[in-house]
């Protein structure tokens, strides 16, 4: 597994850039990972990130993209604008979650 350096701290990631442990996550991680994905984080991005982390903590798995869109009242097209193609994958990388499975 490769490592990504953020402010002098090494973070272990898998081959697709997902953080090895969600417990290693930090706001600094999120900001740097977003930059690496060419994403500038806004309050709207943080709403999604916080939701993903809370949902995953509560249920043990990441939510599906349709659930995120419905719960946060964000259109899928807006999620794509915010996080690029594969919006839940990129949002999950930034949020420090495991690789999502299923329909994303």
Catalytic residue positions, numbered: 103
Helix/strand/coil (H, E, C) string of the chain?
CCEEEECCEEEEECCCCCECCHHHCCHHHHHHHHHHCCCCCCHHHHHHHHHHHHHHHHHCCCCCHHHHHHHHCCCHHHHHHHHCCCHHHHHHHHHCCCCCCCCC
Residue with tokens 């090494």: 10
């Amino acid at each position: 597994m490769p490592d990504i350096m953020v402010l002098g701290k090494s973070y272990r990631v898998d081959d697709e850039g997902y953080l090895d442990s969600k417990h290693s996550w930090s706001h600094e991680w999120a900001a740097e990972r977003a930059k690496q994905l060419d994403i500038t984080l806004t309050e709207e991005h943080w709403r999604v990130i916080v939701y993903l982390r809370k949902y995953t903590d509560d249920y043990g798995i990441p939510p599906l993209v349709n659930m995120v869109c419905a719960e946060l009242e964000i259109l899928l097209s807006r999620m794509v604008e915010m996080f690029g193609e594969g919006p839940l994958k990129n949002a999950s990388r930034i949020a420090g979650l495991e690789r999502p499975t299923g329909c994303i």
